[in-house]
Structure 1
Amino acid sequence: MRGQLPPLGRMYEAGGRRLMLHRSGTGGPPVVLLPGAGLVGLDFLNVQAGAAGFTTSVLYDRAGTGWSDAVELPRRPAEVAEELRALLGAAGVPGPYLLVGHSLGAFYARRFAQLFPAEVAGLVLLDPGHEDMLAHVPGELASLAEEMKPGTEPLPDLTEEQESAARGQWAQLYAGWPGEVSGPLIEHNLASWRTAVEEVRNFETEVYEELRRGGALPQVPVSVISAAGSNPYWARFMTEEAQRRVRAGIRGLHASLTTPGGEHRELPDASHQYLHIEHPEEVLDTIRTLHTKL
C-alpha cells in the first residue's frame, strides 16, 4: 500500500521519508504504539482509540511497513528509534512518551529508551522478545531455536485457497474496525505478509547485540504482558511439555523486565501476534494503570 494515502492518519516528512502517523486525544504523557514484526499501526487502532480517551494517543507505520515509504529490511533498532523520534517531532507530539511496544516493537521501544532516556516516561511491553531469551529456557530446548529459524529461500506466493482463508481470518480479526480501515488493511496484509519474516532476519546479527551494548534503561516504570496461549508454530517443533517449559522460562524473563511502578500480567489464552485484539481491555487497563502513575 506504500505510495497510496492511508485510510486513516496523515503523512509526515521525517528523516527524508514520508511516514504515516495517526493521533487523537489530548494530554500527556502521550501513548505511542510500536507494532510487532509484520504488523502496522492500524492493527492497533482499537488500543489507540481507547487510549485516546485519557491522553494523546499515537499509532504509526515505521519505514518499510504499512503506508510509509519503503526501505530495505531488516533495520537496526537505533535507526528505527531515531526515525520515530524525528516523526514525533515533525507531527508536534511532545515527550516524554509512554511507549507501548509489541514483540519486535518492544525491542525498538527499549532502544528508544536507551538512546533518549529523558524522553521516555514509561514502557508497556506486549509479549516482548529479549536478546537473552535462550538463557531463560531449558538448555536442551534452546537447540530448537536453530531449527525454528525462517529459511533464506524466497517465500512462495499464497495459493488461492490460502489467500481466501487468510482474507476470512483477517475479516474476523478486524470486525470491530471501521469498514474504510479494515478493507485496505486486509488488502495490505495480503500484499505484504512477507514483511514479518524480513523484519526479523537480523535478530542475531544486529538486534540482540545492539540492545546488549545499548546500556541500561532509564529508571521508569515498565509493565509487561505475557501471551500464554497455544502457539501453532511451536507445536510443529515441540511437545506440549516442552512448550510448557518454554512458557515458564519466558514468564520468568518477562517478570524480570517489570520494574517498580509497573506490573506483569499473564493472559493464558492470548496469542502472541494478536493479543491486543483478543484482549483489548486487559491491554488498555495495563496502559491506563501505568499512565495514571506518570
Structure 2
Amino acid sequence: MRVYVAAVLALVILVQGHTQAPVPQDYPPPGRMVDVGGRKLHLDCSGKGSPTVVLVAGGNAFSIDWALVQPRVAETTRVCSYDRAGLAWSDPGPADETVEQTISDLHKLLGIAGEKSPYVLVGASIGGIFIRAYQRAYPDQVAGLVFTNSANRVRRLVNGKGGLIWDMTEDEIRSTYPMPASAKGSAPTRENDPFDRLPPSLQAVRLWIDVKLWQKWDPTKEDPGSILSWRKEFLKEFTETDEGKVRPLGALPVIVLSSGPAASESERGSRNGAAARLDFLSSNTVHVTATGSGHEIHLYQPDLVVQTVVQAVSAIRSGTPVSHL
C-alpha cells in the first residue's frame, strides 16, 4: 500500500505543502488515461524525437510537478510524465509504490501507449530507485539515466528510535504497522514552497489532488509492502556498487544532479546514505551540483534540470560521452 504522510517516509517523501483551497470540482487529466489491464494510469506526453524522456516523480508527487521542465524538454525531444498507481488521476493497483508494481506498470504503460524506446529515465527523489530498477529489468529499453536528488536516506521510527530502512530487519519494519489513526493529521488547505512555484492554476489542481488523497487515506490500514520493497532495492544497489566492484552499468550515460557535491571513494563504501552510490554506477557519469537548491530541483532550479536532461539526450544522439559535452 502507498504511504501518504511525509512523517513516515522522512526525508524522501515530499513534505506536503499547503494557495487557497480550490472550488470543489473535478479537474480533468492533462494527458490521457491508458488501460494497463483493468485499471488506468495517467500519461502526459509532448514533443517529438528520440530518445524519449520519461519523468518519474518522487513520493507523493505528481506528473504536474514537472510543469516547469516538461514543455522545455519537449522542444528537443519526446517527453512523458505520468502518475503512478493510486496517485493523482491514476487508478490504484494491488501493491502501490512497491518497486515491483511500479516498474511493471511503467513498462506496460509505455508499451500500450505506443511510446517507443529507447528511454532516458529521469528520477526525482524516491523515483531514483524506480528508474534504476526499471533499467535492471529492461536494459535494452534504457539509453540513459538522470537522477535528481534521488533517494538518499529513508528512515522509520522503531520503538521511538529512528533508523535507516536498510539497517532494519524486515520484522522491525513490519512492527511499525499498522499506523495510528492520529497519523492522518489535518486536511491540506494550501500549497506552500516549493509547490507555490507552479503556476496558480496548477497549484489549485495540486491541492485538489492532495485533498482527495488525504480523504481516502487510512493509516490504520497501511501495510509495509512498499517500504519492504524499497529496502530490498536499496540493498541490491548497495551490493552492486560496493567498493572495488566493476561499475554495474558499464558505460551507460548517467547524470547525477544533486544539491551536494560528487561522492568520494570513502563515501561510496558507506551506507549512511544511498545517493553517493549513484556516482559509481557507470564509467560514463557526470555529477552536476545544484548549488543552493532544495530537494525538488525541478521546482527550485528547473533551468538546470532542463539543461541536464537535454545534455543526456544530446550525448545519446551523438554517441558522445556525457562528460565531453
TM range (shorter): 0.7 to 0.9
Question: How far is 1:254 from its partner?
Answer: 3.8
SS in 2 for 1:60: strand
Alignment of 1:128-277 (within 5 A): 128-129=150-151, 144-145=163-164, 152=177, 153-154=179-180, 156=182, 157-159=184-186, 163-164=188-189, 167-169=190-192, 173-177=195-199, 179=201, 181-192=202-213, 201-203=227-229, 205-209=231-235, 216-217=248-249, 219-228=251-260, 252-257=276-281, 259-272=282-295, 274-277=296-299
- Tell me the distance in 1 between the aligned counterparts of 2:84 and 2:132: 16
- Aligned equivalent of 1:66, options 85, 88, 105: 88
Give TM-score, length-normalised by structure 2.
0.67
Matched, 1:83 2:105: yes
Give the alignment partner of residue 38 of structure 2, picking from 13, 16, 30: 16
Give the equivalent residue in structure 2 for 1:50: 72
Structure 1 residue 185 displacement after superposition: 1.5
Gap runs ≥5 in structure 2: 1-25, 155-161, 242-247, 262-269, 317-325
Please list the CA deviations of residues 177-207 of structure 1 after superposition, one character each: whole Å capped at 9, or x if unmatched.
Answer: 361x332222112332669x98852256543
Q: Secondary structure at the match of 2:45?
A: strand
Higher-helix-fraction structure = 1
Q: RMSD between aligned alpha carbons? A: 3.7
Tell me the distance in 1 between the aligned counterparts of 2:203 and 2:129: 27
Matched letter for residue 40 of structure 1: F
Cα 1:34–1:199 change in 2 (3 A) is: farther
In the TM superposition, what is the alpha-carbon distance from 1:109 to its structure 2 partner? 0.7
* Residue ranges of structure 1 left out of the alignment (5+ in a row): 135-142, 230-245
Aligned equivalents of 1:214, 1:228: Cα separation in 2? 22
Structure-1 separation of matches of 2:181 and 2:294:
24
Please list the CA deviations of residues 217-255 of structure 1 after superposition, one character each: whole Å capped at 9, or x if unmatched.
4641000111249xxxxxxxxxxxxxxxx9x96664343
When structure 1 is superposed on structure 2, of 79-88 and 214-223 the one drifting more is 214-223
Give the Cα separation in 2 of the matches to 1:214 and 1:17: 34
**Counterpart contact for 2:99–2:226, Cα < 8 Å:** no
Q: Which amino acid aligns with 1:80?
A: T
Q: TM-score, normalised by structure 1?
A: 0.74
Q: 1:192 to 1:46 in 2, by over 3 A?
A: same
Q: Offset of 1:256 from its aligned partner? A: 2.4
Indicate the residue corresponding to 1:106 in structure 2: 128
Shift of residue 87, structure 1, vs aligned partner: 0.7
What secondary structure is seen at the aligned counterpart in 1 of 2:109?
A: helix
Alpha-carbon contact 1:110-1:217 (below 8 Å) kept: no
**Deviation (angstroms), 1:261:** 4.0
